[in-house]
Amino acid sequence: MSKGRIPHWADVTLVPLTSVLLAFVISAILIWAIGESPWAAVKLMVEGAFGSSYGWGYTLFYATNFIFTGLAVAVAFQARLFNIGGEGQALLGGLGVALVCLYIPWPHWSLALIAASLGAAVFGAAWAFIPGYLQARRGSHIVITTIMFNFIAASLLGYFLVNVLRPQGAQDPSSPRFPAETALPKLHEILGVFGIPFSTVPPVNISLLVAVGMCFAVWFMLWRTRLGYQIRAFGESEPAAEYAGISPARITIYVMLISGALAGLMAVNSVMGEQQRLVLNAVEGAGFIGIAVALMGRNHPFGVFLAAMLFGFLYQGGAELALWTGIPRELIVVIQALVILFTGALDNMVRIPIARLFAMRGAR
């Protein structure tokens, strides 16, 4: 059954929604099986994530992370490159943020934000450049190299934290706190300007706007610029790209630079916006969640935004669930995994029946 049989609107809405629904149904059965009430669990998750400005704040904070890493994977996938290295690129982005914030005195957060964003993007891009170069010029497969580079990045970061950034005498492998001038305005401060009350607790900050801006920028780059045209042509058909005189090696390297920069930008939210210092595990798996987000978002920036919101909800709702019920933390991970499984790996299981449904309706 070809993909073309499903109308476009159904392909981008019905298919992912059905997948998510199926994942939730199975999750509900699991929750019921361990003796908890699925209905209460859903209620708790939704209330925890969206019931208050506190919940919203955390949901949006997580979503910001996932937008960056999701965009990174989505851009690479437009060129049919599977960048699994978002985790490592984001870690290096964190190093870039830390260096910019610690070693340059900034008079105002806005200048610090621009410089830290550049630092994060450059470090992330540089980390993605090496696998990109190896694939383009040496034929080493990008999936393998980016995975390996995640481990190298973790070790490299450990070295920097322990031997370079750690303050004298501190036991904790982390950088000193960034100067107060580099603290990014929280969402409640921004909304406060318009007189809208918002919880002061959650770490959601101005990076959210950067992330939304990046969604638009990536969309514009892909569908309105020559570079994006070349990336998409290369992704759809390498022989055709070659015929058009688009250099596969050059596009591979460009795409990996952009992808790495986007992954690196995630650190602006987590390192600069939340922790205000660089710690060992600053990325917390967001690089991998980005793969699921891109997959579910159909590698389109708008889809990535929506999928990132869903995963933000799962993260925040899941945390609430673990806090208030006997449902163990591990089950939350299972629920998240089910969503990934259904939206990503089992895509055709949902797609084919829906396509059949449309074919039947068309025949009538």
Partner 1 sequence: MITAKTARARRSDPGMTQTSTDMMRQDTAASASYAIELRGISKAFGPVQANKDISIRVRRGTIHGIVGENGAGKSTLMSILYGFYRADSGEILINGHPTEIPDSLAAIRAGVGMVFQHFKLVENFTVLENVILGAEAGGLLRPSLAKARGLLKDLAREFELNVDPDALIENLSVGHQQRVEILKALYREADILILDEPTGVLTPSEADHLFRILRGLKEQGKTIILITHKLREIMDVTDEVSVMRRGEMVATRTTSETSPTELAELMVGRKVLLRVEKTPARPGEEVLRVDGLRLVDAQGVERLRSIGFELRAGEIVGIAGVAGNGQSELLEVLAGLRPAEGQAWMNGQPLPLSGRDCDAQARRARRIAHVPEDRHRRGLVLNFHAWENTALGYHHDPLYNPHSWKMDNAAIIRDTQAKMDAFDVRPPDPHLKASGFSGGNQQKLVLAREIEHAPDVLLVGQPTRGVDIGAIEFIHQRLIKLRDSGSAILLVSVELDEILSLSDRIIVMFDGKIMGERLPDQTNAQELGLMMAGMA
Q: What CA–CA distance (Å, rounded) separates 10 from 21?
A: 15
Contact (Cβ atoms closer than 8 angstroms) between residue 100 and residue 351? no
We find the least distance from the C-beta atom of residue 244 to partner 1, in angstroms, to be: 4
The pair of structure tokens assigned to 256 is 């990996």
Query: Among residues 82 and 229, whose Cβ is nearest to partner 1?
Result: 229
Query: Among residues 155 and 237, whose Cβ is nearest to partner 1?
Result: 237
We find the least distance from the C-beta atom of residue 231 to partner 1, in angstroms, to be: 11
Q: What CA–CA distance (Å, rounded) separates 105 from 116?
A: 12
- Binding residues for partner 1, rule: CB under 8 A, are 4, 223-230, 232-233, 236-237, 239-240, 242-247
Query: Among residues 110 and 225, whose Cβ is nearest to partner 1?
Result: 225
We find the least distance from the C-beta atom of residue 223 to partner 1, in angstroms, to be: 8
We find the least distance from the C-beta atom of residue 133 to partner 1, in angstroms, to be: 17
* The Cα angle at residue 179 between residues 178 and 182, in degrees rounded to 5: 85
* The Cα angle at residue 67 between residues 177 and 145, in degrees rounded to 5: 85
We find the least distance from the C-beta atom of residue 241 to partner 1, in angstroms, to be: 8
Query: Among residues 35 and 239, whose Cβ is nearest to partner 1?
Result: 239
Residues 6+ apart with CB under 8 A from 361: none
Query: Among residues 107 and 239, whose Cβ is nearest to partner 1?
Result: 239
Query: Among residues 115 and 246, whose Cβ is nearest to partner 1?
Result: 246
Query: Among residues 247 and 275, whose Cβ is nearest to partner 1?
Result: 247
For the chain, the maximum distance between any two Cα atoms, rounded to a whole number of angstroms, is 77
We find the least distance from the C-beta atom of residue 240 to partner 1, in angstroms, to be: 5
Query: Among residues 17 and 240, whose Cβ is nearest to partner 1?
Result: 240
CA torsion through residues 182, 275, 295, 85, sign: positive
Tell me how far CA of residue 338 lies from CA of 19, 246, 316, 342, 343, in angstroms.
Answer: 9, 39, 17, 6, 8
Q: What CA–CA distance (Å, rounded) separates 147 from 131?
A: 10
Q: Please give the single-letter amino acid code of residue 201.
A: V
Q: How many alpha carbons lie under 13 Å from residue 282 in its C-beta half-sphere?
A: 38
Neighbours of 105 (CB within 10 A): 10
We find the least distance from the C-beta atom of residue 300 to partner 1, in angstroms, to be: 14
Q: What CA–CA distance (Å, rounded) separates 292 from 69?
A: 10
| Among candidate residues 39, 33, 267, the one with its CA nearest the CA of residue 157 | 267
Query: Among residues 57 and 235, whose Cβ is nearest to partner 1?
Result: 235
* The Cα angle at residue 62 between residues 162 and 164, in degrees rounded to 5: 10
We find the least distance from the C-beta atom of residue 296 to partner 1, in angstroms, to be: 20
We find the least distance from the C-beta atom of residue 39 to partner 1, in angstroms, to be: 43
